[in-house]
Structure 1
C-alpha cells in the first residue's frame, strides 16, 4: 500500500460495507506490495464466512495478481465462488493500484448467498408451471367481467374481428360461448346479441344448429 492514509480509508470502507450488508458479508484486504512470501490478509471483516483471519496466507486471487502482467489485470465483479465447506459466495475483487498503475493491494467482497440460493430454489419450485399462463383461466372480479373475457376469447378463437366474421364464424363463436357456460350468466343473451350485431333469436338458433348436428 502507498501509505497508512489509504489503508485506513480501506479499512473503514471494509467496515462500512460489512456492517451495511450484515454478518454474511466478508470484506478482505490483501497487501501485495510487500516482500512477505505468503502475502497474508492484512485486514478482514466477518472472516467466519470463509473461516479466515489475518494469519491466513495468499488466496488464488492474490496468486493471479502476482503471476500476471499488471496491465492485463482487470477488476472481477459479481462472480460466484465456493468455500471448502460448501458455502456459495457472490464475490467481487478490486485491485488497488499505485500512481504507476501497479497493483499494490486487493479489496475483496465475499457475500454468502447459500441460504438465499436455497430459498430461491424453493421459490422457483413453487412458482414454476408447465405451460404459459392461459388467458382463459384469468380470474374475473365479477360476472360482467367474466362475460367480457369470454366474448374476447370467442373472437380470438375465430381469429378476426366481429365486423369481418361470416355467419358461419359467428355460429362457431356463439357455440363456443354456449359450451363455456356464458349463457348461464344473467342477461348474457342481450349483451352477446349486441356484441355480435345479431338478435337474441339468432343466438338460440345458432345454439340449436349444434344440437341438431
Structure 2
C-alpha cells in the first residue's frame, strides 16, 4: 500500500466530518475513520461511543473484509451485526481511495439500534415468527483480539483444537483467514503462526500453497 499526498489530504478533510456526523445523529451514533496504512492501529479519528473504539485501535473483521476485496471494495451500507456484549449495531462502511484509485482507508458509521431491535423482536414474537439470528462482529482495540475471534470461530466450526488439525484442515483454515484479509495487516502472520503452533516460515509456505491452488482453480 503506497503513500500518496492525496491520502493524507483526504483524511485531514474527513477528520472534522467524523465529529459532525456523530453529533448530528446523537448518542447512539459512532463514526470511525480508518487509515489502513497503519495496519493494526488503523483508527485515526473516532467520535461517539457504540463499539468502544479509540484512536490507535485495530480494524475489525469488517475492515479486514474490505481490505481483502482490495480494488473491488465498494460501499457496504446498512448491514446489521451483534457485538460481543449483545448490542445490535447497524453500520455502513465506505472505502476511501486516493487520486490513483487505490484503497487506503474507510469511513465507518455505527448506530446502536438495540432498543429498536428489542421492540421488533416483541412484534415478531406476537406475530408468531422466530427471531432472525445476527452475525457477531468483534470490535476490539487490540488487533490480537480480532485475530483470535476469527480463528476461534473457525476452530469451533471444526470441532477440534488447532494443534490437532490435519494438514488439509490447516490449509483450509489458512485459506479462510487469507480470504478475510488477515494477512494484509503487517505482523498478522506471526500472530497466526503462533496460534497454529508453527513457525512463520512454515505458515508462509502453507499460504503459498493455498494461493497457488486458488490461482489454479480460478
TM-score normalized by the length of structure 2: 0.51
1:97 matches 2:101? no
1:51 matches 2:52? yes
CA distance in 2, matches of 1:13, 1:74: 20
Tell me which residue corresponds to 2:119: 119
Tell me which residue corresponds to 2:184: none
Indicate the structure (1 or 2) with the bigger Cα radius of gyration: 1
Higher relative contact order (CA 8 A, sep 6+): 2
Per-residue CA distance 1:147-179 (angstroms, 9 max, x = gap):
xxxxxxxxxxxxxxxxxxxxxxxxxxxxxxxxx
Tell me which residue corresponds to 1:159: none
CA distance in 2, matches of 1:64, 1:37: 14
CA distance in 2, matches of 1:28, 1:39: 13
Per-residue CA distance 1:18-68 (angstroms, 9 max, x = gap):
111101101001101x2x34142111111x311221132121122223333
**1:27 counterpart (16, 27, 31):** 31
User: Number of aligned pairs?
Assistant: 124
Q: Structure 2, unaligned stretches of length 5 or more? A: 129-218
Residues 114 and 62 of structure 1: CA distance in aligned 2, closer, same or farther (over 3 Å): same
Q: Structure 1, unaligned stretches of length 5 or more? A: 130-213
CA distance in 1, matches of 2:64, 2:124: 38
| Residue 75 of structure 1, CA deviation | 1.0
TM-score normalized by the length of structure 1: 0.52
